[in-house]
Structures are given as structure tokens and as C-alpha cells.
Amino acid sequence: MAAFYGQKLLLRLQACQLAHLRRAFLASAPEDCKQVLGRNEPRKKRGKEKNLKQQRGSLDLDSSWEKRLSSVVTPLCGLPYEEQLKVKYEKLKSILQTVTARLKELGADHLETTQMPDGICCPLKPLIPSPIVNGYRNKSTFSVNHGPDGNPKTVGLYVGTGKGRNIVCVRANHLLNIPQGHFQVAQCYEELLHQSPLDPCLLFHTGGHWRELIVRTNRKGDTMAVVTFHPQHLNPEELSLQKELVKDFFAHGPGTVCGLSSLYFQESVMTRCSHKQSPYQLLSGEPHIFEELLGLKFRISPDSFFQINTAGAEVLYQAIGEMSRADKSTVLLDVCCGTGAIGLSLADRVSRVIGIEVADQAVEDARWNAAFNGELNPPNTAAVITSSLHENLL
């Protein structure tokens, strides 16, 4: 997220207390945001939302599993892309109208809403289409659990929730937003699990080992795969054997069709483990994949954040540069900067870029990217090399 400081923005932030802003945002946020942000809201309110979700879930009991998964992961896929953009635009406008009304109720009457169309507190420009609509994801995370047929070694995405105890893992090879290469790695991983005598780890306290699979790709066709494995009570020799089996499967067995450029193994005892908590172990191939974006080259590690839609990110960063009106007097603060893509893509416009990131591998990647692109583009050297990336600064 990139932030440009201006007097007008600071005055608006000072107009309301943070607690008021939080309540205003929660009142208008989509349901999936409320699940995370609204945990401290009154229980009665959350109970109503829970009942509504249960009613929605019961409507599709007779749908095929593929359709049910599509409705969860890509709910607008049945509409032409132009119609999808209209739906998203109207949803954003509705959210802003609700936020504006709540801010007025909280005493922020001086917001210049009278000059804005549709009674919203800030301009809402038309949505910019993505250059690529299908198969655009450069990262996919596949889970392991019981499939529709009850097979506990099914690799796919979830329908249902753990809290509702109704999770079903559905193979995702019909989804339009995931490239075929990701499906191929997932199918091979499922074959590996079927060959293994070890059980999948569905719940940590019930044992089992095989967990999720992460697949990352770039536009050149390089593919990185990360196999997540719960060690349970295996000794070092037994763990080494499992790593060799995974490596051999993708290097010499059925997994060779995936053509992996990087294969990692992570011993994970939690739902999500960072590289610092449990290091990613390179089994074969290159330690990184690289992506080019707006004439810059970016190094990407297993644990680093990079925009899911690379072509869409190029459009996004160009729009940020135009709308920000940044110039050589601007200091750009790139919060949660990941590999530094936003800051570095705008570095030639500003006097300095400061990146903030907590993931160790992302910090290392961002520093490498700043140094490499500074050497690659001499006219931008001063702006890029002065980039300062800080670890664990919130």
C-alpha cells in the first residue's frame, strides 16, 4: 500500500477519532472483511450475520461441487467482464455512501460531500479493466482435506468452514482465474499423497503430515512449488526420507511434467508459518523466481508478497503514479511493501522511497530489487538506492 502525505488528507484523518472511523468502516465493509475486522463487535450483531450466512449456504445444497466452489471463489464469473466491473463499481459506491452517512452521524459535517456526485466523501473514478481476465493469478494455495467423495487426500480449495464443520475440499481445475500450470502441480501433488503411506494433516491434534501446497509462477513460465508438511513425531532421518521422496517425485517421477524451476519443503506446525518461524528448505532448483514489471526486475522468494495479477499490477501502479501527483519533493511511504514493487516503480518520480515490511524474505528481496534496479536504470539510481526498507517496523 502506498501512502502520499498531504495537508488535506491529514485534516480529514484528524476530523474523526480512530474508533469512530473503525465503526464507520465496519458498518459498510463487505462480509468477508467483517469476519476479520468485526471480531470485537457485539455478539448479538455477529449472531445475525452468522444466521444470514447459514441461510445463504443452504440455498445451493443441490448445486454441483464445482459450481459451489466457483460461487465462493469467483462469485461474478457467470457475468460478462463488463458487467462484473459495473457490479463492483456500484458496490464501491454503496460502501462510500454508507461511510459518508456514518461519518456525518459522528460529527464530521465539514466533509466536502456536497460537491461530490451521489453523496460520497471522495471521488470514485471508473474502474480500470485488467489487461488479463482469465488465468491471471501468479500464486495459488491449495489445501488438503476430504473431497466430495470422502477422500482425505484431495487437493483443492474449500467449500464450507472449519467452524461450521462442513468443509469439503474441491479440485479447482475449472476455476477461470487460476492458470492451468497451477492445476497441474496440484494434481501431481495429489498423486504424490496417494502414493505415500503417511496420512494428511487435517487437524493438528489428530496427527497426519501432508498439508497445503503453494504454487508461484511468472510470465516467463518459471514455476515454484512449496510443499508444507507437519513433522509430528518423525525423527530427522525419517524427515530426510520424506524430503527425498518429494524431490524424486518431481525430479524423476510423475511430477516431472510440472517442469518446476524451484521446489521447497517447509516443516510447519502452525496454520501459517513464516520463513523465520520455520525456514523454507530448497530441495531442488533455483532459490527465487523473477518477474519483470514496468521495466523493472523483481526477485521473489517463497514468503514474499507480490501482486497476484502482474499485468493488473502494472495498470494499478501507473494509476497510482498519475493520481498521486508525486514529484521530486515527495517522500513515498510504501507500507507492507513486500518486494518493494510499488515504491520502486514510482521511485523515479519522487525524492525518496521508504518501505516498511515485517517478512524477512520480503525485506531481503526488496533490498536486492532496489540495488539491482538502481544499477540497471542509472537515471533512477538516486531515487532507488535511497530506498530504506525496515524490518519489524509497524
Residues 262 and 282: beta-carbon distance below 8 Å: yes
**DSSP letter for each residue of 355-388:** EEE--HHHHHHHHHHHHHHHHH-GGGHHHHHT-E
Average pLDDT over residues 315-340: 90
pLDDT-derived band at 375, boundaries 50, 70, 90: low
pLDDT-derived band at 30, boundaries 50, 70, 90: very low
Q: Which three cell numbers stand for residue 213?
A: 501446497
- pLDDT at residue 389 is higher than 70: no
- pLDDT at residue 363 is higher than 50: yes
- pLDDT at residue 110 is higher than 90: no
Mean pLDDT of the residues in the chain: 81
232 CB-near residues (< 8 Å, 6+ apart): 201, 207, 208, 209
Q: Which residues pair with 216 in a beta bridge?
A: 139, 224
Residues 365 and 318: beta-carbon distance below 8 Å: no
195 is known to lie in a ligand binding site: no
Burial (0-12, 13-18, 19+ Cβ within 10 Å), 341: buried
- pLDDT at residue 41 is higher than 70: no
In a 13 Å sphere around the CA of 288, the CA atoms on its Cβ side amount to 18
212 is known to lie in a ligand binding site: no
At 63-105, the pLDDT tens digits run: 699 999 999 999 999 999 999 999 999 999 999 999 888 888 8
Is the pTM of the predicted complex or chain greater than 0.85? Answer: no
pLDDT-derived band at 35, boundaries 50, 70, 90: very low
Compute the distance between CA of residue 355 and CA of residue 2 in angstroms, rounded to an integer: 9
pLDDT-derived band at 11, boundaries 50, 70, 90: very low
Burial (0-12, 13-18, 19+ Cβ within 10 Å), 169: buried
